[in-house]
């Protein structure tokens, strides 16, 4: 099911600035038994991201009506919500009277990775780097060619995710996930001031860590630090969290803490 | 007039990857008296840009049929041509069997800047920097949020263009144009290996320079070098070339060479 500005539709205006310039933001959520998981967090992030681009975010009530209709029709799905700056003429200047375009769409849940909780996932390094751009860092905007290039570096279905580094070689994120490393009793996630997307699940883990009895912090993570970690996790709002069993030649066994951590990260 | 995959239409698929990720490229051209100016150069660049992203560029005959129809209906217009990777499910991985989407659209010519040839244009510095991304540098792709942010830094209609620098402060381009500086009898344009768009008009000037009796080269252009230049030009396929009369407090008078240069850059 697809809703465009609240109406069932398969199409958007050909002159929308979302197409012309990637001038918009998006969210990827889950519905479960007809409920939109973590909606308040997703709306807050969408609103903040719109602000970063100077787009007037549609009201929560209006957007919630869209996602609720999707969830009613697809009780257990992946729900994607896009907000663009709306239709516009040619030229980079944003029209003064622009009306944002809303697109809400359902997708099938990704096929489960059987035994993933026990066995973990395999990941590899991407050679495509994330460029530094502080003006856009952290925002989940529609300019995602770096992720597309990185994701298309591998086709082996046994590789669940690719890791991306910044200009200086520090680990920033997976192509579609945030990264945490566990060092003894401490969770560390990379700083995202210069590139990367600060996901809702990442914020949630930082907030939840205390209650799990683990300290957490945001710090630079060079590859050698990741390779020396006791465990590595990949997180987003659809997968929840995966633990990494193998990063190319480096392998890990499941830490004692991991089942509790993964359980805590399950969406309510 | 808008053609989507060769059919008159106002809309594109809501799940097109051009919207989802900015996963595509574009060209902005001119029609004059029903002819598409510099078509061979534009097609060559479009094809090269598609290759950079791993998109299979539609054939020249197919695309030319689109732009010819636009030019027949709008003999003197700005003609924008977009090619995306096409519709796709969710997820960054490009579908193996994707069929690119073509969008060709006409727009009114920008209102002339009266006396621009004699008086030149005023420009200013943008604070938004162009991030380094060698994997995408030079390509006119649909990830243009940096340009949108930069263009929205000013609203004064007397400012014709804004200049963008890279991370290190070097001048790279205008928000919608390439930059040349004239140093005595030599034209210099910034290197674009790490960011910026290598426009058709820029290539044309580099090829034409010889015939105008000026040497040309591609080199780093820090701001002090631009300020010390004898003349500064901004180029693209719609404006041809402008000479800069004022960059904030720095002003220039028209060089003797400038009328000949501007005349040579007029499209055939």
Q: B186-227 pLDDT, tens per residue? A: 999 999 999 999 999 999 999 988 888 899 999 999 999 999
Query: Which of the listed residues A80, A107, A134 is the one where a domain comes to its end?
Result: A107
Whether B120 and B235 map to the same domain: the answer is yes
- Number of Cβ within a 10 Å radius of residue B235: 24
Q: Which residue has the tokens 């090829």?
A: B207
Q: How far is B210 from chain A (nearest CA, A)?
A: 32
Query: Which of the listed residues B84, B107, B130 is the one where a domain comes to its end?
Result: B107
Percent residues over pLDDT 90 in chain B: 85
Whether B95 and B152 map to the same domain: the answer is no
Contacts of A99 (CB under 8 A, 6+ apart): A86, A87
Q: How far is B242 from chain A (nearest CA, A)?
A: 17
From the list A84, A105, A145, the residue facing B141 with the nearest CB is A145
Give the C-alpha separation, A207 to B174, whole Å: 42
User: Considering only CB atoms, which chain A residues are within 8 Å of B135?
Assistant: 128-129, 146, 149
User: In the prediction, which pLDDT does B96 show?
Assistant: 87
Q: Which residue has the tokens 């709008």?
A: B74
Distance of CA B247 to the CA centre of its chain: 20
User: In the prediction, which pLDDT does A212 show?
Assistant: 83
A172 — pLDDT class (breaks 50, 70, 90): very high
Mean of the pLDDT values across residues A22-51?
Answer: 97
**Most A CBs within 10 Å, among B11, B17, B162, to test the A interface:** B11
Could you say which DSSP state residue A136 is in?
T
Compute CA distances A171 → A147, A190, A220, whole Å: 14, 7, 8
CATH code, domain with B49 = 3.30.470.10
User: In the prediction, which pLDDT does B117 show?
Assistant: 74
State how many domains chain A has: 2
List beta partners, residue B170: none
Whether B99 and B164 map to the same domain: the answer is no
Whether B13 and B91 map to the same domain: the answer is yes
Q: Which chain A residue has its CA at the smallest distance from B8's CA?
A: A14
Cross-chain residue pair A150–B92, CB shorter than 8 Å: yes
Q: Which chain A residue has its CA at the smallest distance from B102's CA?
A: A14
Lowest mean pLDDT among A65-74, B22-31, B54-63, B252-261: B252-261
User: In the prediction, which pLDDT does A201 show?
Assistant: 94
User: Considering only CB atoms, which chain B residues are within 8 Å of A135?
Assistant: 128-129, 146, 149
Residue A168 has pLDDT above 70, yes or no: yes
**Closest among A229, A233, A227 to A206, alpha carbons compared:** A233
**In angstroms, how far is the first alpha carbon of chain A from the final one?**
24
Whether B57 and B129 map to the same domain: the answer is no
Tokens read off for B223: 């701001």
Contacts of B227 (CB under 8 A, 6+ apart): B247, B250
Dihedral sign (CA A114, A119, A125, A129): positive
Whether A11 and A141 map to the same domain: the answer is no
CATH code, domain with A207 = 3.20.10.10
Q: B121-125 and B159-165: which strand pairing?
A: parallel
User: In the prediction, which pLDDT does A266 show?
Assistant: 73
Mean pLDDT over the full length of chain B: 94
Whether B99 and B152 map to the same domain: the answer is no
Residue A117 has pLDDT above 80, yes or no: no
List beta partners, residue B189: B218
Residues A178, A232 contacting (CB under 8 angstroms) = no
Q: How far is B219 from chain A (nearest CA, A)?
A: 22
Residue-range definition of the domain harbouring residue A57: 2-107
The SS3 call for residue A72 is helix
Residue A96 has pLDDT above 80, yes or no: yes
Whether B63 and B142 map to the same domain: the answer is no
Residue A262 has pLDDT above 90, yes or no: no
The SS3 call for residue A245 is strand
User: In the prediction, which pLDDT does A264 show?
Assistant: 78
Q: How many CA atoms lie within 13 A of B25 on its CB side?
A: 26
User: In the prediction, which pLDDT does A213 show?
Assistant: 85
Residues B106, B77 contacting (CB under 8 angstroms) = yes
Percent residues over pLDDT 70 in chain A: 98
The SS3 call for residue A176 is coil
Whether B60 and B173 map to the same domain: the answer is no
Encode chain B in three state secondary structure: CEEECCEECCEEECCEHHHHHCCEEEEEEEEECCEECCHHHHHHHHHHHHHHHCCCCCCHHHHHHHHHHHHHHCCCCEEEEEEECCECCCCCCCCCCCCCEEEEEEECCCCCCCCHHHHCEEEEECCCCECCCCCCCECCECCCHHHHHHHCCCCCCCEEEEEEEECCCCEEEECCCEEEEEECCEEEEECCCCCCECCHHHHHHHHHHHHHCCEEEEECCCHHHHHCCCEEEEEECCCEEEEEEEECCEECCCCCCHHHHHHHHCCC
Mean pLDDT over the full length of chain A: 94
Whether A151 and A71 map to the same domain: the answer is no
Mean of the pLDDT values across residues A71-80?
Answer: 97
Cross-chain residue pair A152–B54, CB shorter than 8 Å: yes
Whether A21 and A49 map to the same domain: the answer is yes
ipTM of the shown complex: 0.96
The SS3 call for residue A214 is coil
- CA-derived radius of gyration, chain A: 19
Query: Which of the listed residues A79, A107, A135 is the one where a domain comes to its end?
Result: A107
Contacts of B61 (CB under 8 A, 6+ apart): none
The model's pLDDT over B96-135, given as tens digits with 9 standing for 90+, comes to: 888 999 999 999 998 776 667 789 999 999 999 999 999 9
User: In the prediction, which pLDDT does A230 show?
Assistant: 97
Give the C-alpha separation, B208 to B188, whole Å: 13
Whether B120 and B91 map to the same domain: the answer is no
The model's pLDDT over A215-232, given as tens digits with 9 standing for 90+, comes to: 999 999 999 999 999 999
Could you say which DSSP state residue A212 is in?
G
**Closest among A197, A95, A93 to A142, alpha carbons compared:** A197
State pTM to two decimals: 0.96
Tokens read off for A192: 């995202």
User: In the prediction, which pLDDT does A252 show?
Assistant: 97
A185 — pLDDT class (breaks 50, 70, 90): confident
A267 — pLDDT class (breaks 50, 70, 90): low
């Amino acid at each position: 099911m697809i809703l465009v500005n609240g109406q069932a539709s398969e199409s958007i205006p050909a002159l929308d600035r979302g197409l012309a310039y990637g001038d918009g933001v998006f969210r990827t959520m889950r519905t479960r038994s007809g409920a939109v998981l973590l909606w308040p967090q997703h709306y807050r992030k969408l609103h903040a991201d719109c602000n970063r681009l100077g787009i007037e975010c549609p009201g929560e009530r209006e957007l919630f009506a869209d996602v609720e209709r999707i969830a009613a029709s697809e009780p257990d799905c992946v729900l994607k919500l896009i907000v663009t700056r709306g239709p516009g003429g040619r030229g980079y200047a944003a029209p003064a009277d622009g009306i944002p375009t809303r697109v809400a769409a359902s997708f099938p849940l990704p096929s489960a990775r059987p035994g993933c909780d026990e066995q973990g996932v395999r990941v590899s390094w991407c050679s495509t780097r994330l460029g530094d751009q502080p003006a856009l860092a952290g925002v989940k905007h529609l300019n995602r060619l770096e992720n597309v290039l990185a994701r298309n570096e591998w086709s082996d279905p046994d590789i669940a995710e690719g890791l991306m580094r910044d200009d200086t070689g520090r680990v920033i994120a997976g192509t579609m996930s945030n990264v945490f490393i566990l060092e003894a009793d401490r969770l560390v996630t990379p700083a995202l001031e210069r590139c990367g997307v600060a996901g809702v699940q990442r914020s949630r883990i930082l907030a939840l860590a205390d209650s799990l009895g683990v300290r957490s912090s945001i710090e630079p993570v060079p590859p050698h630090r990741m390779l020396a970690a006791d465990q590595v996790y990949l997180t987003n709002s659809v997968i929840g969290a995966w633990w990494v069993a193998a990063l190319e030649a480096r392998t890990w066994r499941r830490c004692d803490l991991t089942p509790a951590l993964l359980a805590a990260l399950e969406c309510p």
